[in-house]
């Protein structure tokens, strides 16, 4: 039976709320197609108050949108639901998930499991809108650049390398995420495989430099692109409620979890959908 639901646009460039759908139920192919269409159009979509959705249900819904993959490349096979626990990491840097591998995840699903009493919102940015708003000479320049991505700047390692005081559990958690080194090259502008739209494809956590350039030579333009891509006009924000689920297109967005909850615990569960190798306008 086809679900009847409404898609409520939340911003000019990114974000929509999907009302009237129960994700733990049986969604038919027509409903799934409509949800996928909303995701392609709005880049990130929010499902409020999915209180009967558990890990198994989240994974089952992810399976309707694509092929779930291991939650993080360094984790054991079969671990498809990743706890994002603020005791160990806070994801409070602008990033696109797991860009240091050859095949970038298509999408991520994030469910609120335990929330602080205040704060802890998440912001997403459309890298399609930010590409569209570049001056034409910079669009031409970026379309001809490739960048190197590595996991040496993973936010778990970043906190570690600042020599913060870490408990054994946190240190063990960090070591799990960086025990294997990854490095790959991607076009700075990628073409979306489903829509054909162009998007900036760099992020401050994983992008280290441009191909055939040093980090020092790359830094000024990268800094400009990061700041340009995260202008408020290109963003939307979710104030989480228990049971909420967010789904975002990882191919044309960045996101940032705001750390403004004074050390309270914030626990989210993430599922990742398998994607493809990014293609640029020149390849």
Q: Is 15 left (phi over 0), alpha (psi -120 to 50) or beta?
A: left
CA 121 to CA 224: how far, in whole Å?
25
- Residue 97 annotated as catalytic: yes
Sign of CA dihedral 160, 163, 167, 168: positive
- Residue 51 annotated as catalytic: no
DSSP E strands in 93-192: the ranges are 107-114, 122-126, 146-150, 183-187, 189-191
CA 252 to CA 18: how far, in whole Å?
19
Q: Quickly list H helices, 191-278.
A: 215-229
The active-site residue out of 17, 72, 95, 186 is 95
250: closest CA among 138, 109, 153?
109
The active-site residue out of 72, 149, 190, 255 is 255
252: closest CA among 128, 148, 139?
128
The active-site residue out of 17, 89, 97, 269 is 97
201: closest CA among 213, 217, 184?
184
Instruction: For the beta carbon of residue 7, count every other beta carbon within 10 angstroms.
Output: 18
Tokens of 152: 């040496």
**Catalytic positions, written as ranges:** 95, 97, 255, 270
């Amino acid at each position: 039976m086809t679900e009847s639901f409404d898609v409520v646009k939340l911003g000019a460039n990114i974000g929509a709320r999907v009302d009237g759908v129960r994700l733990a139920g049986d969604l038919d192919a027509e409903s799934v197609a409509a949800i996928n269409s909303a995701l392609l159009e709005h880049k990130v979509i929010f499902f409020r108050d999915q209180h009967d959705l558990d890990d198994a249900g989240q994974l089952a819904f992810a399976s309707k949108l694509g092929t779930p993959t291991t939650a993080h490349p360094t984790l054991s096979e079969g671990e498809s639901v990743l706890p994002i626990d603020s005791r160990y990491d806070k994801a409070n840097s602008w990033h696109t998930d797991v860009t240091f591998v050859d095949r970038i995840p298509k999408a991520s699903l994030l469910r609120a499991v335990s929330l602080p009493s205040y704060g802890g919102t998440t912001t997403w940015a459309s890298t399609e809108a930010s590409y569209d708003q570049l001056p034409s000479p910079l669009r031409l320049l970026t379309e001809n650049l490739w960048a190197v991505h590595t996991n040496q700047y993973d936010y778990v390692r970043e906190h570690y390398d600042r020599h913060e005081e870490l408990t054994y559990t946190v240190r063990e958690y960090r070591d799990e995420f960086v025990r294997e080194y990854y490095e790959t090259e991607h076009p700075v502008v990628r073409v979306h495989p489903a829509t054909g739209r162009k998007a900036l494809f760099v992020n401050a956590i994983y992008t280290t430099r441009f191909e055939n350039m040093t980090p020092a030579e790359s830094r000024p333009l990268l800094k400009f692109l990061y700041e340009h891509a995260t202008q408020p006009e290109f963003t939307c924000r979710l104030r989480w409620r228990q049971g909420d689920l967010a789904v975002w297109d990882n191919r044309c967005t960045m996101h940032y979890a705001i750390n403004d909850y004074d050390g309270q615990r914030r626990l989210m569960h993430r599922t990742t959908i398998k994607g493809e190798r990014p293609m640029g306008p020149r390849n």
